[in-house]
A and B are shown apart, each in its own frame.
Chain A
């Protein structure tokens, strides 16, 4: 933390980051000084000893053992100091504390698959609490990748067949880059993601919403089972609004006015869909009154509240075709509504279908 006062050009969000910035800055200063000194001497000599007359003589200087020894030893000693300092940082990098929270990360062409201790899973994003040691267990399913988070000043290779580990102690809440730093093929530059450093309580909330066996997860199952997905999917041309991030947002209503999408609005939309119709959409949603138990309703609502961008599945993902069937599934046949519903698309927040594998690094 020697150089803590210096404003940073790029975010730094981990405790080790400060150490690494220190050593980078110190190396910059020392090598910079050496560079300036030698260059100054070099240029001074060039100027001072430029040829002034054609038959100028030069002294016959062959060298000096003493000087050679001096300028061999001094850099060597400075190097040793930096070497030792580097070891200390490297040791820390490789040895996570025992109480660290363990997160498993798997690299795969071209995405990062993350699994949390409570079973929460995510892709190309990593949610972690602030001020808590996080240990990453890293491996790869195919080729070598490298899980790098510049804001943490951390990276480590993901080598197939091995589990590598590193750890961080995030200190600043925020959203930072995850980069794949080891070339891994076509989508290498698209193998990026975001790390979300959250307050402990936000993290717990997030975690609860994504945990295996949690309300939200149960709700997800129901959402599929009750066929909500047949309309509320992430497919382009879906017949109903994508429900991602709808919670606490304003919804414009047909016939004017708007409403905040809170718990009660969501509940009402499921039980009495025709009461308040989302502007620009056809009132085709059937009422689920009497079809869902209260218990289940709570779960479904919890699921809808937990939805972040990209969470709603694409429909084909859910209805696996029988083996041997053509893999490209088409829309469920309902000719009437199909044509009627092409119009209102632009009034919905644009949710393009997310694909698990980015194509072409664009």
Chain B
């Protein structure tokens, strides 16, 4: 696609369009400095984004290996592994994936890399703090992995006491410490992004002209700032009880185990939105770009994002309907959980409506994005079974729950992550990947994913409980199907590793704006120069004016700049 066929619409472009052929001549953020110090001591948000990408990918592969062991065990009703090993595997999978992959991935990689570019800033507000966040994350992560490899932990990622505080003979305290440390990275990244979005927007970049990805990361950062401290307190309490025997959660010591669940989910439910909101943000960028349309209902999407971020804080009790939280709390939490489903539904409707009368092309990011909408919808809709006090009685703590949250986390967050990765890859690396392989891996992931998790909904209805190392023989067929699907899924996940790395060396050189997108990040060369913008851009219209030609956009801006 040539740049000429694209309707550019920002003043910035018309003022100082980047000289495409010369872009390579001036140094970019990748080649302006060499040596390990230039990476490990960098304060460039783009390089830090890449550091996150490397480490997040590493953690993802570890989490995947543990998931592979889980699916392997479940091939046979009596289990292929010792129960002890199995319990360590599903715990490792949950802990690594949640704390070291799902939560930091999109904010850490794309948030870091693109928030400054998208708001027209030279870096995040606190570049050194940003580097510190990465180091804290790595220390926490390394500590966690050490604890997992060195004896492991068998409490599940939920760490429920009194099992975790007195019964489990495994590395609960080290893992608690690792979660505690990693939490600070999350808080500091959130702080950095919030300040950046408030203080460092380019002239003309009003709140209602922010790209929706920025809104999503902004909302996510608010959640991280407000909820992560609660997690920190919770794991500290847990560690204190475990190490000193002071009773907080253990009823044998006058503690209350349900208190832990309240505290844990007060963080961990919002954490679900820390994971999914950024992915939703990516989808907005990709859908508008590949359908050449304005987002349908920009403000509805913004308010649903903020609505989700806020409402996410008041539904934590839906994890404890059957844990004795009481009748009235259960009522309220059930109601609020239905309530929080509304903005998610609104988003899906808005995305669908965005495609209306578009001019749609199916490049790899778009395939991921459409896949995201469909799979996320299944994830969201099946949540309604669990927010419902009636059906939850039967489905709670069964494989139905496992399938539901994997649809949200994998079908949602991971597909959103891949959509963003393929969308921004040319910008990040300056290279194009092989489109055919990218599409093929997208399809493989979706097929493998569906075979893995659709059977689990049904297993859950049949009554198979979560976290079982061995199970009743009648559940075997569906489990084998699920394990078979997971191997396909794994193949789908591994493929990008190859064709993306291949593209680094052999890929076509990317133009500054291969998709003809409107975002400010595309107005820089690919890869961007070390300081992002030579000249501070001036923004005169909303983020998704795909329907206007640059002249029309300019005329409209002069007429009063309504977005």
Q: Which residues of A contact B (CB under 8 A)?
A: 9-10, 19-20, 23-24, 27-28, 31, 34-35, 38-39, 41-42, 45-46, 49-52, 54-64, 67-68, 71-72, 75-76, 79-80, 82-83, 85-91, 93-94, 109, 142-144, 146, 148, 150-151, 153-157, 159-162, 164, 177, 179-190, 192, 360-362
Answer whether residue B252 sits at the interface, using C-beta atoms and an 8 A cutoff.
yes
Measured CA separation A64–B463 after assembly (Å): 44
**A31 and B547 contacting across the interface, CB-CB below 8 Å:** no
Q: Least Cβ distance of B215 to chain A in Å?
A: 15
A24 x B395 contact (CB < 8 A): yes
* Cβ-defined contact, B291 with A49, below 8 A: yes
Assess whether B533 is interfacial by the CB under 8 Å rule. no
Q: How far is the CB of A125 from chain B (nearest CB, A)?
A: 15
| Closest residue of A by beta carbon distance from B457 | A28
In the complex, how many angstroms separate the beta carbon of B459 from the nearest chain A beta carbon? 10
A310 vs chain B, min Cβ distance (A): 19
- B463's nearest neighbour on chain A, judged by CB, is A150
B390 with A72: CB separation less than 8 A: no
Q: Are B547 and A58 in contact (CB under 8 A)?
A: yes
Min distance, Cβ A182 to any Cβ of chain B, angstroms: 6
Interface residues of B in 36-92 (CB under 8 A from A): 78-79, 82-84, 86-87
Check A61 against B296 for contact (C-beta < 8 Å).
yes
Which residues of chain A come closer than 8 Å to B361, judged between CB atoms?
Answer: 50-51
| With A61-B296, A86-B388 as contacts: A362 and B463 at CB distance below 8 Å | no
Distance of A40 from chain B, by nearest CB (Å): 10
Bound CA–CA A210/B369 (angstroms): 63
- Give the residue name and chain of the B residue nearest to A64 (CB): B297
Report which residue of B346, B349, B465 has the largest number of chain A beta carbons within 10 angstroms of its beta carbon.
Answer: B465
Query: How long is the Cα–Cα vector from A38 to B345 in the complex, in angstroms?
Result: 10
Per-position contact with A for B378-422: 1 when CB-CB < 8 Å, else 0?
A: 100110110111111111111000000000000000000000000
Q: How far is the CA of A51 from the CA of B176 in the complex (A)?
A: 52
- Partner of B546 from A28, A58, A71, A162 at Cβ < 8 Å: A58
CB contact between B352 and one of A41, A75, A94 (< 8 Å): that residue: A41
CB distance from A151 to the nearest CB of B (A): 8
Say which residue of A24, A67, A72, A109 sits within 8 Å of B167 (CB atoms).
A109
A-B contact pairs, 18 of them (CB 8 A): A27-B391, A46-B362, A51-B360, A52-B359, A60-B547, A63-B295, A72-B342, A142-B162, A144-B162, A146-B322, A156-B322, A161-B256, A179-B465, A183-B466, A189-B465, A189-B467, A361-B468, A362-B82
Residues in B with CB closer than 8 Å to A187 are 83
Q: Please measure, in the bound complex, the distance between the C-alpha atom of A55 and the C-alpha atom of B3, giving whole angstroms.
A: 11
B5 — which chain A residues lie within 8 A by C-beta? 54-55
8 A Cβ contacts from B351-389 to A: 352-353, 355-362, 370, 373-374, 377-378, 381-382, 384-385, 387-389
Instruction: Kindly state the separation between the CA atoms of A336 and B86 in the bound complex, as whole angstroms.
Output: 47
Question: Smallest distance from the beta carbon of B92 to chain A beta carbons, Å?
Answer: 14
Indicate if the CB atoms of B163 and A20 lie closer than 8 Å: no
Establish whether residues B342 and A79, one from each chain, have CB atoms under 8 Å apart when the complex forms: yes
CA–CA, A8 to B348, complex, Å? 33
Nearest-Cβ distance from residue B515 to partner chain A, whole angstroms: 12
In the bound complex, do residue B393 and residue A154 qualify as a contact, i.e. CB atoms below 8 Å apart?
A: yes
B325 to chain A, nearest CB (A): 10
- In whole angstroms, what is the CA distance A226 to B299 when docked? 85
Complex alpha-carbon distance, A179 and B348, angstroms: 37
Known: A50-B361, A58-B357. A75 touches B391 (CB 8 A): no
B window 319-342: CB within 8 A of A: 321-324, 327, 330-331, 334-335, 338-339, 341-342
Please give the distance in Å from A47's CB to the nearest CB on chain B: 9
Known contacts A143-B163, A162-B324, A183-B467, A58 near B342 by CB under 8 Å: no
A90, A142, A362: the one contacting B389 at CB < 8 Å is: A90
Tell whether A51 pairs with B359 under 8 Å between CB atoms, given A63-B296, A63-B300.
Answer: yes
For B345, the closest partner residue in chain A by CB is A75
Contact A143 B167 (CB under 8 A): yes
Residue of B nearest to A9 (CB): B462
Query: Nearest Cβ in chain B — how far from A48, in angstroms?
Result: 9
By the criterion of a CB under 8 Å from any partner CB, how many residues of chain B are at the interface? 102
Q: How far is the CA of A187 from the CA of B470 in the complex (A)?
A: 10
The interface residues of chain A lying within 8 Å CB-to-CB of B467 are 183, 188-189
Interface of chain A, helix or strand or loop or mixed?
Answer: mixed
Min distance, Cβ A132 to any Cβ of chain B, angstroms: 21
Q: Is the CB of B357 within 8 A of A360?
A: no
Contact assessment for B384 and A143 in the assembled complex, using a CB-CB cutoff below 8 Å:
no
Q: B2 to nearest A CB, angstroms?
A: 8
Q: Is the CB of B378 within 8 A of A35?
A: yes
CA distance A233 to B336 in the complex (A): 58
By the criterion CB–CB under 8 Å, are A148 and B465 in contact?
Answer: yes
State whether the Cβ of B507 lies closer than 8 Å to any Cβ in chain A. no
Bound together, the chains give a CA A161 to CA B255 distance in angstroms of: 9
Complex interface bits, B544-560 against A, C-beta within 8 A gives 1, otherwise 0: 01111000000000000
Residues of B within 8 A of A87 (CB): 331, 334, 389-390
Min C-beta distance of A217 to chain B, whole Å: 32
Bound Cα distance A39, B375 (Å): 10
Whole-angstrom distance between the alpha carbons of A87 and B337 in the complex? Answer: 13
Contact (Cβ within 8 A) B393 A153: yes
1/0 per residue B143-172: CB within 8 Å of A? 000000000001110101111001110000
A83-B335 contact in complex given A142-B167, A153-B394, C-beta closer than 8 Å: yes
Enumerate chain A residues within 8 angstroms of B162, measured Cβ to Cβ.
Answer: 142-144, 160
- In Å, the complex CA distance between A91 and B68 comes to 41
Q: Determine the chain A residues whose CB is within 8 A of the CB of B392 once the complex forms.
A: 86
Do residues A62 and B345 form an inter-chain contact, with CB atoms below 8 A?
no
Q: Is the CB of A159 within 8 A of B388?
A: no
Q: B389: which A residues are within 8 A, CB to CB?
A: 83, 86-87, 89-90
Cα A88 to Cα B334 with chains together (Å):
13
CB of B127 within 8 A of chain A? no
Q: Which chain B residue shows the least CB distance to A63?
A: B297
Contact check, B385 vs A58: say whether CB atoms are below 8 A apart: no
Within 8 Å by CB of A155, from B79, B297, B322, B461, lies: B322
Closest to A182 in B: B397
CB B83 to nearest CB in A, in angstroms, measures: 3
Q: Find out whether the CB atom of B257 lies under 8 angstroms from the CB atom of A144.
A: yes
- CB pair A61–B463 under 8 Å, yes or no, is no
**Docked pose: A62 CA to B562 CA in angstroms:** 12
> B385 and A27: CB pair below 8 A?
yes
Question: Whole-angstrom distance between the alpha carbons of A75 and B291 in the complex?
Answer: 26
Q: List A contacts of B468 (CB < 8 A).
A: 188-189, 361
Q: Are A86 and B342 in contact (CB under 8 A)?
A: no
Expressed in whole angstroms, the Cα–Cα distance for A230 and B360 within the complex equals 83
Q: Is B203 an interface residue (CB 8 A)?
A: no
Give residues of chain B (452-476) contacting chain A, Cβ–Cβ below 8 Å: 458, 461-472
**B293 interfacial by beta-carbon distance below 8 Å:** yes
B102 to chain A minimum Cβ distance, whole angstroms, is 20
B300 pairs with A10, CB closer than 8 A: no
Q: Is B137 an interface residue (CB 8 A)?
A: no
Which residues of chain A are near B463, meaning CB under 8 Å? 10, 148, 150-151, 177, 179
The 6 closest A-B pairs by CB, nearest first: A150-B463, A161-B251, A361-B83, A89-B390, A63-B297, A90-B389
Given that A50-B361, A360-B84, A361-B469 are contacting pairs, would A23 and B79 also be in contact in the complex, using a CB cutoff of 8 Å? no
B394 touches A155 (CB 8 A): yes
B395 CB contacts on chain A under 8 angstroms: 24
Are the CB atoms of B388 and A83 closer together than 8 Å?
A: yes
- Closest B residue, CB atoms, query A164: B324
Q: Given contacts A24-B394, A183-B87, could you give 8 more A-B pairs where the C-beta distance is less than 8 Å? A: A10-B462, A38-B348, A60-B294, A68-B300, A160-B162, A186-B84, A189-B79, A360-B83
Check A49/B461 contact, CB under 8 A, given A144-B257, A150-B394, A155-B397. no
Measured between beta carbons, the chain A residues less than 8 angstroms from B294 are: 60-62
